[in-house]
Structure 1
Amino acid sequence: MNGRLYDFIALFLASGMLTGLVGCANYGSGGGQVPDSSHYASGVNAANRARTDVLDALLEGRPGLSPELSGLQLAVMKQGEVIFSYAKDRVGSHNESTFPPFESRSKVRVASISKLAVSIGIMRLVERGQIDLDADVSQYLGFELENPNFPSEAITVRQLLSHTSSIRDSGHYWLTVGETFTDFFVAGGRYYDNARHFADGEGQQPGAFFTYSNLNFGIAAGIIERVSGQRFDTYMEETVFRPLGLKVGFSPCSITRIAPDLLAPTYRRNNEQGEWIPDGPWRAQVDGRTIACHVGMAPFDREQSPPDRYLDNYVPADNPTFFSPQGGLRASAEDLAVLMKLMLGKGRVGDVQVLRPETVEDMLMPVWTYDAEAINGITDEVEIPGSPNAGLMTSYGLSVHLIDLQAWGLSENRRVLAGHLG
């Protein structure tokens, strides 16, 4: 990577709850030594007090800053270490007395940052020689996955992880327990619906056009299950999270088992029908008083024990979408900091080498970069051009959102933000 400077930033914003982390360091094969940190240590307390004041103001929605938030959790890293953390909840601590106190270790649904974790899981199989990023995914899935509008173009794992596969959400990207996710992709399937989950248009063949698609990661989870022979959640725990010392998971029920006092809800201003109301009351969106282990499962009271045998009959690769691989990871900002350390450390955290340096480098290399003349992608997290957030995404690696500040006119020098929005 020739010593390119990457500022790693990962943020999650949903339901009025903001969880995030930010950090920076040199990443590249040219490397360079991390400078000594003693030069800022003496002022750290004053700096942290100033940070806390600013974040308190942001949380409360003071005039001129932003609308108020229901809660805020943040970790700041410098030179590979967390130097500041913050956690405060303005809703649950007052109105939801059954919830544990919100703290820096509390686990919330981190939405699309989950995709980065899934990519790490895929890359472990790549390193073992069990997956080829540029091979046709059909050989890993056990069924023929092809875009019927471009039948001669293979869909690859690299394309799935970079949203260039020609797979489309079309408003529906998950199925419930007991359903089979091939119904999305095989003619005659219950949800095939005239191939609505496949792109159809000039220049939108696999590998040519970027459109953000959650369903890509349901497919990626299916590949993990079929290649490893394990359930997606079990594989991620054993192969990615446990080696890193992380007590996180893709189900709130797994959190209630391993860290019962740390599962925290996210909130949204809704009416009782779940419709967004800007000045309405804060209501728990997920992981509130009731919890559903997975999509489509009956919720139960969070003080009760989750059902023990609800996945006994699940066959790996039948329907990994109900694990919510695209956005269901429950983790804290401190947990995300460990994933950041993994990327900054070229695959290593402490004494644990989870990925090879060249693997991390591959993840950070742009697979797709927006070409305004060719119009080779939709630059937002939606499938319809012209949204208010158009231009947000202009470069993407393997589940890594890349922003070149120089190209955006925000820096005189080449400086790239790398991470993922939630």
Structure 2
Amino acid sequence: MLKKFWKNATLTTLVLATFTLSGHGQDAKTETDLQSIMQQHDMVGLAVVVVKKGEIVYNKSFGLKDVESQTPLSPNDIFRIASISKSFTATALMQLIEAGKLSLEDDVSKLVGFQVRNPKYPDKVITLRMMLSHTSSINDSQGYFTLDTIDPAKNPNWAACYNNYEPGTQYEYCNLGFNMGGTILEKLTGERFDQSIKHRILDPLGLYGGYNVDSLDASRFVTLYEYHADSSRFSPSPSAYAPRRQEIRNYKMGHSTPIFSPTGGMKMSAPDLARYMTMHMNKGEYKGTRIISKKSAKQMQSKIADNGYGLALKTEKKLIPGKALVGHTGNAYGLYSAMFFQPKEQFGFVVITNGTSAPEVNEYNLALAEVINSLYKNLIK
């Protein structure tokens, strides 16, 4: 276990140096504010990117990439971005819908190859739209690292994977649904999930990242630190980048997909994530490369669930008072991430921390909410 290391003199000096070396004027005011937020919420490291009118206008990293080695965080470093990964899975599925290989109204049972029915509503079809909007009535109570948990032929307690309400009527966040979504992508493309995302989204946009740990430069991985409130300490989370080589060697197409975690396993730098975000902000296109149609982009951003969740993108009205932002958050292994944009006014933010004592409330981290508001106030408003 690591003590609250932001009190360590070496770290404090490093954080202050990182802030004070990088600008004057408005940038200096921004960095002073960010420094204060970091210290208040015990943030290990912080990566921030601001996009305006399709261009990155601010891209800075602060604090530490790794505490043990006292390595500073840099913009090229790679995080496991957690649940923002869901939008990559949904984006690739929208491409298949455009190609006529799939429909949002398709029965998930037919797509995954086993019965997906809430036993309390056996006649109600669970559709892909429901699954991608967390309104399917499926839950994570049996785990989500294998599809066997919800397969009636594999798990005697499969019925526990469903809530009591009718599919399509209520929202409950569900990681299992997106691992199923990744499996559907794999089945329909005949290509392993990590490769499919690379070829369909990352390569066309010129982004460095992916779901397969061994395909990436491990020296760029940011160490993630989980905060333990009971002891006020952090501990590193090396399992965030577990390569799972044995499981990949025994991979079964259309079944083993959760190994790559379509629900949360993307690894990417903050500026590359901002470029991906800009594609969504520009309704499916980035710098001349169209990834999905305007219609698909609008569908992903349109509210389905009562809380504003669409298809792996959510409309958030309370993050910046008076502004409706579209995006997603992530939380895993101590990391917190957020990607939000304003489609009409054409500005957006990517903010990621590899450890903080701040809690998550209403599906976003309070420290990152303060960071986003500071960036908006200083660089957009």
TM-score between the two structures when normalised by the length of structure 2: 0.75
Alignment partner, residue 100 of structure 2 = 129
- Which among 238, 243, 252 is matched to residue 204 of structure 2? 243
Alignment partner, residue 116 of structure 1 = 87
* Structure 1 residues 60 and 197, CA gap change in structure 2 (3 angstroms): same
Alignment partner, residue 95 of structure 1 = 68
The answer as to 2:30 corresponding to 1:59 is no
Alignment partner, residue 228 of structure 1 = 189
How far apart are 1:121 and its partner, in Å? 1.2
The answer as to 2:124 corresponding to 1:153 is yes
User: What is the alpha-carbon distance in structure 1 between the residues aligned to residue 139 and residue 280 of structure 2?
Assistant: 29
SS in structure 2 at match of 1:396:
coil
SS in structure 1 at match of 2:209:
coil
Q: Mean alpha-carbon deviation: is it higher for 348-357 or for 312-321?
A: 312-321
CA contact (8 A) 2:65 2:222 kept: no
* Structure 1 residues 52 and 238, CA gap change in structure 2 (3 angstroms): same
Alignment partner, residue 213 of structure 1 = 174
- Which among 375, 390, 398 is matched to residue 311 of structure 2? 398
How is 1:5-84 mapped onto 2 (pairs within 5 angstroms)?
Answer: 46-61=25-40, 67-84=41-58
User: What is the alpha-carbon distance in structure 1 between the residues aligned to residue 216 and residue 127 of structure 2?
Assistant: 33
SS in structure 1 at match of 2:215:
helix
Name the % identity: 27
User: What is the alpha-carbon distance in structure 1 between the residues aligned to residue 65 and residue 115 of structure 2?
Assistant: 48
User: What is the alpha-carbon distance in structure 1 between the residues aligned to residue 226 and residue 231 of structure 2?
Assistant: 9
CA contact (8 A) 2:97 2:104 kept: yes
User: What is the alpha-carbon distance in structure 1 between the residues aligned to residue 265 and residue 287 of structure 2?
Assistant: 27
Deviation digits for residues 329-352 of structure 1 (CA, Å, limit 9, x no counterpart): 111211221121111211111121
Alignment partner, residue 419 of structure 1 = 327
The answer as to 2:66 corresponding to 1:105 is no
CA contact (8 A) 1:266 1:287 kept: no
User: What is the alpha-carbon distance in structure 2 between the residues aligned to residue 317 and residue 239 of structure 1?
Assistant: 18
Query: If you compute each CA radius of gyration, which structure gives the higher value, 1 or 2?
Result: 1
* Higher helix fraction (1 or 2): 2
Alignment partner, residue 185 of structure 1 = 150
Residue type matched to 1:53 in 2? T
Is there any run of 5+ residues in structure 1 with no aligned partner, and where?
1-15, 18-43, 62-66, 176-180, 271-275, 295-306, 370-393
Is there any run of 5+ residues in structure 2 with no aligned partner, and where?
7-22, 331-381
* Structure 1 residues 253 and 278, CA gap change in structure 2 (3 angstroms): farther
How far apart are 1:116 and its partner, in Å? 1.2
Deviation digits for residues 105-163 of structure 1 (CA, Å, limit 9, x no counterpart): 21111111111111111111111111101111222212222222211111111111100
How far apart are 1:410 and its partner, in Å? 4.1
Deviation digits for residues 166-197 of structure 1 (CA, Å, limit 9, x no counterpart): 1110151113xxxxx2x22233423x415110
- Which among 198, 223, 242 is matched to residue 265 of structure 1? 223
How far apart are 1:209 and its partner, in Å? 1.1
Deviation digits for residues 249-296 of structure 1 (CA, Å, limit 9, x no counterpart): 11332223xxx43211111235xxxxx54522x3211368xx5213xx
- Which among 216, 227, 232 is matched to residue 279 of structure 1? 232
User: What is the alpha-carbon distance in structure 2 between the residues aligned to residue 262 and residue 145 of structure 1?
Assistant: 40
How far apart are 1:83 and its partner, in Å? 0.8
* Structure 1 residues 410 and 292, CA gap change in structure 2 (3 angstroms): closer
Residue type matched to 1:261 in 2? S
Alignment partner, residue 252 of structure 1 = 213
Residue type matched to 2:42 in 1? E
Residue type matched to 1:267 in 2? Y
SS in structure 2 at match of 1:95:
coil
How far apart are 1:404 and its partner, in Å? 3.4
* Structure 1 residues 349 and 84, CA gap change in structure 2 (3 angstroms): same
User: What is the alpha-carbon distance in structure 1 between the residues aligned to residue 227 and residue 209 of structure 2?
Assistant: 27
User: What is the alpha-carbon distance in structure 2 between the residues aligned to residue 409 and residue 255 of structure 1?
Assistant: 35
TM-score between the two structures when normalised by the length of structure 1: 0.68
User: How many positions carry a matched residue from both structures?
Assistant: 310
User: What is the alpha-carbon distance in structure 1 between the residues aligned to residue 65 and residue 100 of structure 2?
Assistant: 48
The answer as to 2:59 corresponding to 1:85 is yes
SS in structure 1 at match of 2:235:
strand
User: What is the alpha-carbon distance in structure 2 between the residues aligned to residue 150 and residue 352 of structure 1?
Assistant: 43
User: What is the alpha-carbon distance in structure 1 between the residues aligned to residue 105 and residue 193 of structure 2?
Assistant: 22
> How large is the Cα RMSD of the aligned pairs?
2.4
